[in-house]
């Protein structure tokens, strides 16, 4: 069994034990009973993870809607998944999606359980022309995202995957919470996090100083709060452009030389000139 799992990219049993011993006591208290989680349907499937809607029976007569994230084994090693749960366990803020806990399924794979946001993601909301969006609405969204990012900065955390798709809305689509900390990391005393291993990052939202000539993520790239500020700017552009793809059909590698010469995305028609 161990040999089969090694071929799937898992760490050795010894390393698994090592990483579990590194989990803080508070994280251990977040282990959920797998029999109390009912998976109902797939919400999203991407290169880094699959996300399901489910119900968590946390009391004898209490049921809560949740989302269950299954990280991709091709994208994340076990230590990276544990780091995500460790970061999630530290966060508690009205602008951050609530982390509920984690459990292991029948295949011993980790699943991360979080608060369900019934309004869906911000990208889908702004992309739908049936939703009337004023400048005031957009500024309200932007302000709430900024509050969430300021909180992450206070916790010395770099998100690295901030995008409209990772900003979730409540039922009446007035309140936003930031989600998906699979690529998030703590930064050091120099306010940097150095990426030393290949990872799938969203290139169109990634700061240009972290990209190589061909639009690839540089090994040993230094990510910082400034990297997240760049992504925040792209999110603002997404909102005012009503969910258009940054740089359109152009490849990042083709746009990069212009970006490094101070060219920027054109101002969407709905965006105030002063912004």
What gap in Å lies between CA 257 and CA 266, rounded to an integer?
Answer: 16
Distances (CA, A) of 5 to 16, 71, 135, 139, 270: 12, 16, 51, 48, 52
Annotate 170-203 with b (16+ C-beta within 10 A) or e (fewer).
eeebebbbbbbbbbbbebeeeeebebeeebbbbb
What's the CA angle centered on 202, arms 196 and 87, to 5 degrees? 60
Whether residue 144 contacts residue 175, with contact meaning beta carbons closer than 8 Å, is answered with yes
Whether residue 116 contacts residue 66, with contact meaning beta carbons closer than 8 Å, is answered with yes
What gap in Å lies between CA 15 and CA 20, rounded to an integer?
Answer: 9
Rg for the chain, CA atoms, rounded: 19
Whether residue 193 contacts residue 220, with contact meaning beta carbons closer than 8 Å, is answered with no
- And the tokens for 217? 């993520």
Helix ranges restricted to H, the chain: 2-7, 13-21, 25-28, 78-90, 122-127, 135-154, 225-240, 252-259
What gap in Å lies between CA 168 and CA 123, rounded to an integer?
Answer: 9
Residues labelled catalytic = 161
């Amino acid at each position: 069994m161990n040999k089969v799992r090694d071929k799937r990219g898992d760490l050795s049993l010894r390393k698994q034990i090592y990483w579990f011993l590194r989990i803080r006591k508070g994280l251990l208290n977040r282990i959920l009973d797998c029999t109390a989680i009912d998976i109902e349907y797939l919400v999203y499937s991407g290169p880094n993870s699959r996300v399901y809607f489910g119900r968590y029976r946390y009391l004898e007569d209490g049921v809560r809607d949740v989302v269950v994230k299954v990280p991709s084994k091709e994208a994340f090693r076990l230590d990276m998944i544990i780091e995500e749960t460790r970061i999630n366990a530290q966060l508690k803020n009205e602008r951050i999606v609530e982390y509920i806990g984690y459990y292991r399924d029948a295949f011993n794979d980790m699943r991360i359980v979080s608060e369900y946001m019934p309004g869906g993601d911000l990208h889908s909301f702004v992309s739908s022309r049936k939703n009337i969006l004023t400048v005031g609405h957009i500024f309200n969204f932007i302000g709430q995202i900024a509050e969430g990012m300021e909180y992450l900065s206070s916790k010395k955390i770099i998100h690295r995957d901030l995008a409209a798709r990772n900003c979730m809305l409540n039922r009446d689509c007035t309140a936003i919470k930031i989600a998906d900390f699979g690529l998030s990391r703590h930064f050091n005393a120099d306010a940097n996090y150095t990426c030393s291993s290949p990872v799938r990052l969203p290139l169109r939202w990634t700061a240009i100083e972290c990209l190589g000539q061909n639009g690839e993520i540089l090994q040993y790239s230094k990510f910082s709060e400034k990297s997240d500020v760049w992504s925040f700017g792209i999110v603002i552009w997404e909102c005012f452009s009503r969910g258009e793809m940054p740089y359109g059909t152009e490849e990042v590698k083709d746009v990069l030389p212009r970006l490094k010469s101070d060219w920027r995305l054109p101002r969407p028609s709905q965006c105030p000139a002063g912004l």
